[in-house]
Amino acid sequence: MDLTNIFIIAMTIVAIVLAVSEVLKNTFKINTQYMPITSVVIGIFIGLVFWPLSEYPVYVMLIAGFIAGLTASGTFDLLKAAKKEGEL
């Protein structure tokens, strides 16, 4: 197991984390300052959900979910900053 496999798994989870966090934000009116931690928690949860479907140990899926949550929150912040500047 090398770090490349963890990043590949994380990149597949990022899109799901982005979608779920946007749905939760709009449904429950979550403040945008709490979105990074929400994305990390969602990423870890999705990593746990996908664990039985993979051949990797649970800690690998937790790390991949954590990385996916951090990546999704960074993407969310970048999109929010671009909208604020009027680029999108």
Q: What is the pLDDT along the chain (88 residues), one digit of tens a residue?
A: 678 888 889 999 999 999 999 999 999 998 888 888 999 999 999 999 999 999 999 999 999 999 999 998 887 677 777 777 765 5
Q: What is the pTM of this model?
A: 0.82
User: Can you tell me the distance from the alpha carbon of 70 to that of 52, in angstroms, rounded to the nearest whole number?
Assistant: 22
Q: How many CB atoms lie within 10 A of CB 14?
A: 21
Distance CA 63, CA 75 (A): 18
